[in-house]
Structure formats: structure tokens, C-alpha cells
Amino acid sequence: MTNLLPQGIEIETSGVSIARIKTAFENASIKGASVVHDGTPSVDAEIVLPPLCLFNIDGTPCQVAYEYLTSVCRVLNRLGCRINSNCGLHVHVGIYPLADDQQPHLWTANSIAKKERTGRYYTEGLQDDPISAVVWYDVLYRYSRQQSLIDRILPPSRTGNRYCYPTHINSFEGRNANDATIESVKQLTRGKFSVINFETWSRGTVEFRQHSGTIEVEKIMAWCRLIRTIVNWSRTDRVEEGTGSTTQTTPENPFRAGSRVGVQYSLMRRLAGATTREIMDATGCSEQRVRAAVSEIRNRIGHSAVVTNTMQANGRRYGDGTDFTSYEILHEITVENSGAVMIPENRIGNASIWSNVDDTDFEYWQARTAELYPN
């Protein structure tokens, strides 16, 4: 099991226009970053970075990702971007970890290049199956269990904030973690504006929303490292694979609305799917590009979720053309031997959010609390 998780960073700032930030990024040759309107009062711009693998297997910073983030923050600081109490730092954790054969620096470089070139996120080199709902239930449980402690490592403006509501620990009473589904985990939260937002699951991420806005690299890295440690500790020391099978629902559409791959996904998810010819007519894509998009979809939602029907199965004969091959995305798939369950009490790891956090990071957060709440 790899501990390499893609993380997408969104930085909210004030005081400098979107146009100025875009121009500064172009002049600094920063690729793949989007600068968009957020809609939050007193927030003038949101900087959305491509997914990065910020850390190597041993927990040290990935040099490519760190240098990229440093360049972004350097430009924002030089422009005079400001952070006010309405600004947030949102971190998306990819629900599909990197595949075992991937190297963080190469994957990150490919991710930046893909976003710059196409405007779409890089989905290759990821594991076929997502992190299980049982793991995410445990992550939310552990976060909620020590919500008051997390509040103390962040500024007061992020406690009880209407853009990041907490889940009360009492919400878990009478529930069995082993029965968790993503839908049942969502029901424990208050939707998008929760400290942990599971509404982005259909787009391949879980969003952590509580951190305050910042354009300081080390603060961003420290928060991303803590999130990574919390998630990976639940994966490795609190949840294990049981026997049997689980039923998973495929996302309604994990791709950008109106994009060609998004249109193709919707066609393929219809009952009986869609032929290559139907997809070509609807998108204007070549047969080769349709097949490439099928591969991209498989990489995003898992190979077993996409069924290929040959032209013979569709009542065609050899010579009719391969564009009559059809593809169908199943609404539900059964995953064998992936029944994630909580580890028994006599073996389960500590539920503390500080579990497996190294001494340097632990001391950083204690110092942060003392700085924010001196009394």
C-alpha cells in the first residue's frame, strides 16, 4: 500500500485582482495554476493549483512540488496579496493514491503539464480502487473527536466558521464504522461547508476546509503533511482488509461539466452505454480520441466499472467498422476481497490525530497554539 496521496491546494487572497495575479504567474512561468473568482465576501481571488504529490514515501518534501508551491507563494507575496479572516486554505486529498510504481516528482511534473496543456487534471498513474469509505469514516471520527484541539492550532476565525462547520462527536453514536458508505459519511457532515467536505467525492477528492488563508509555504506544507498523516494512519493502523465484497456506486460525473470527456462519460453511464459512433457524433472526437478518453475514465473510476461491448455483441459484423463498439459505465460495481473493516480493539492504532506525527511537526503545532492563544 503506497502512502503517496495527490493533494490539490486552493489559496484565497485579497487586495490584488485576478488579472494581476494571472499576469504575474505568466511572467514567472508558473504553469497549470488557475486564478478564479471565489464569491466569498472580501476574497478577491482563489488560486487553484494542479494536484501535487507533496511528499515522498519517507515523508520528506517532493522537490518538484515544493519548488512549484514556493514559486506560487513568492509571486503572491511580491504582489502584496493579503490574507483576511474570510480567506481560507482548502486542501483536496485524492481518493485514489498513486500507484506503487509512481515517483512523486515525475507524477507531479506530469500533473502540472497536463493542467497547463489541457485544463484538465492528471488522472494517470493512480490506483484502480479508491480509499475505502471505512477509512474516511475513521478520518472524520478522529477529526471530530479532537475538534477542540484542532480549533486551537488554527486562528479563532476558523472555529465555528460558516464555511467550515464541524461534525459533533455525538453524531457517531449508534453507528458502525464497518457499515460506512460514502453517502452515510456525507450525512454526518453539513455538506460542502464542512471542515471535511465529501461532496467532492464524485470529482475524485475529499476536501479539508478549516485552515486559514496563508501564502506562507511552510504553513501550507505543515497542514498538508498533518492531513496526509491523519489519512494514512487510518489506512494503515486502524483499518484493514476483511473478507467478502463491497458494492460501490460510480460517480455521476467526475469530469468538468461541458468538457468532451464529461459528455462522453454521461453517454457511457446511460443504460446500455453508448457506441463509439454515438460518442463521436456528440463530441466531434476521432475514434482514437474516444478510446483515449475511455482509458482516462477507467483510470479515474476503476477498470471494472467500464464494460466494453464488441461490435459483434451489438449486432454488427466484421467490416462494419470498429466505431460500433460500445462502452458502458456501470452504476454499481462489486469489488471482491476489499471489505475494509476496523482493526479489532486489541490491535487498532491510537485514534489521536497526533499518531505517527513526527516530533518536529508535533512541536511546530504546539508552538502554533502558544502563538495563537498565549493565555
Q: What is the pLDDT of residues 130-140, one digit of tens each?
A: 999 999 999 99
Q: Domain 246-336 belongs to what topology?
A: Arc Repressor Mutant, subunit A (1.10.10)
Mean pLDDT of 345-367: 97
Per-residue pLDDT band at 324 (split at 50, 70, 90): confident
pTM, entire model: 0.77
User: Confidence band (pLDDT; 50, 70, 90) for 303?
Assistant: confident
Asked whether the beta carbons of 145 and 230 are under 8 A apart, the reply is no
Quote the pLDDT of residue 244.
Answer: 52
**Residue 337 confidence (pLDDT):** 45
Query: Would you say residue 314 has pLDDT above 60?
Result: no
Give 119's contacts (C-beta < 8 A, 6+ positions apart): 256
* 147 vs 317, residue with greater confidence: 147
Cα distances (Å, whole numbers) of residue 203 to 195, 197, 257: 18, 12, 11
Domain boundaries, the chain: 246-336
Share of the chain above pLDDT 90, in %: 83
With a pLDDT cut of 70, the percent of the chain lying above it is 94
Distance CA 69, CA 17 (A): 20
Instruction: Tell me: pLDDT of 320 over 80.
Output: no
Give 375's pLDDT tier (boundaries 50, 70, 90).
Answer: confident
